[in-house]
Amino acid sequence: MRHVTLEVLEKRKTEILSAVIHHHIKTAKPVGSDVLTREYGILLSSAAIRNLMAELEEDGYLTHPHTSAGRVPTDRGYRAYVNGLLELQDLNISEDEKLKKGYERRYNEIELLLSETSHILSILSKYTGFVMAPRFQYDEIKNIELISISNKELLIVLITRSGIIKHKKIEVSLSNKQLKKLRCFLNGKLKGISVAQANTIINAKIKCLKHDDDIDDVLRIAEKISCVFYNIRDDIYIDGISNITTASNFCDFEPIRSFMKFNKEKFVRMVNKDFNDNGINIKIGSENTLNELKNSSIVTTVYKSSNHTTIGILGIIGPKRMEYEKMISLVNHVSEMLNKFFEDKK
């Protein structure tokens, strides 16, 4: 009897696991040893393949439905498969052209671009695409405009370096002289720094004053304005939920519909945990912290501002049996397009 080394055995198991996952991604069906022999050219007997599949099941990489002798991947199996991807599959020419055309237009407000980006991710992946807007608290202030609406209302227009425009109204009564002083103070002290830093600077300035009487009305209003903008929640643009909730073989994705409709804030908090990670981040099934996404995989990456600082996250939500190579390539391409857009805005 020929002795098989441990290295050869592990190589065979890796080959079988990859073939099982690849076939399951295409068909959504359990995979048997006969399929691997017939369609994937694995040069082992059916008995040897079945033994190796049994070992993979014992190791937690495969499992099998009660109604079938074939196997399907577990979350751990998908994870091993994803970790083993050495080269990304390039987008085909037609998809790449769609992607480029989607960015040929220029928009007056960045929100339109981000909405279009989530649509592009959805169209090309055929799943759900999403883009987190640049995190407002960490975006640099480019300009602050003040418009007196009435004797008691003031409209504040804040424009950030990345192109985000926010409008907020506050109730306040100001003379023309105070309005001019407030505008000069805000743009003189806060231009070029982040919204979060602006809040800190104003609070620190107030604390330095010994008595409340030393704090004039203009500084108090500046504090109110900074708090209003600091507390703005991060926006998210989502497109293509119906792609995975209505498509065949995805009936188990119904929870995502209600999740995305009513719990976007929870999703934003989960995704934002990867804000400081560069490169591709993939969460498979049970690796997701939200129960509504336990049957899903999420592929994300970040995009950056003109000074190469991370400002947002984009990605795809799909089934665990998605084509990971293609999804990784797609989010990379879209991230590069957004990076180029923000680079051009500097």
Q: In this structure, are residues 300 and 314 in contact, taking their beta carbons and an 8 Å threshold?
A: yes
| Kind plus residue range of the DSSP H or E element containing 311 | strand 310-319
Q: How many domains in the chain?
A: 3
Separation of alpha carbons 268 and 256, rounded Å: 14
Q: In this structure, are residues 136 and 114 in contact, taking their beta carbons and an 8 Å threshold?
A: no
- For 161, the domain range is 137-230
Separation of alpha carbons 261 and 263, rounded Å: 6
Q: In this structure, are residues 71 and 30 in contact, taking their beta carbons and an 8 Å threshold?
A: yes
Are 78 and 41 contained in the same domain? yes
Separation of alpha carbons 334 and 315, rounded Å: 9
Check which CATH number belongs to the domain holding 261 and give it. Answer: 3.30.450.40
What's the pLDDT at 169? 87
Are 213 and 255 contained in the same domain? no
pLDDT of 107 higher than 50: no
Are 214 and 197 contained in the same domain? yes
Residue 1 lies in a domain: no
Residue 245 lies in a domain: yes
Separation of alpha carbons 127 and 220, rounded Å: 48
Mean pLDDT of 328-343: 90
Residue 252 lies in a domain: yes
Residue 119 lies in a domain: yes
What's the pLDDT at 92? 64
pLDDT of 242 higher than 90: no
Alpha-carbon distances, residue 49 vs 8, 16, 43, 109, 255 (angstroms): 14, 8, 9, 57, 36
What's the pLDDT at 214? 41
Q: Degrees (nearest 5) of the Cα angle 131, 137, 139?
A: 70
Q: Looking at this protein, which amino acid is placed at residue 208?
A: C
pLDDT in tens, 147-205: 888 888 888 888 888 777 888 888 888 888 888 888 888 888 888 888 888 888 887 87
Are 185 and 272 contained in the same domain? no
Residue 88 lies in a domain: no
Are 242 and 131 contained in the same domain? yes
Mean pLDDT of 67-85: 84
* Neighbour-count burial of 106, counting CB atoms closer than 10 A to its CB (0-12 exposed, 13-18 middle, 19+ buried): exposed
Q: Degrees (nearest 5) of the Cα angle 143, 166, 208?
A: 60
Are 310 and 180 contained in the same domain? no
pLDDT of 258 higher than 90: no
Check which CATH number belongs to the domain holding 30 and give it. Answer: 1.10.10.10
Higher confidence at residue 316 or residue 2? 316
Residue 176 lies in a domain: yes
Are 115 and 264 contained in the same domain? yes
- Mean residue pLDDT across the chain: 81
Higher confidence at residue 243 or residue 57? 57
Residues 6+ apart with CB under 8 A from 100: 337
Are 142 and 131 contained in the same domain? no
Are 104 and 251 contained in the same domain? yes
Stated pTM of the model: 0.74
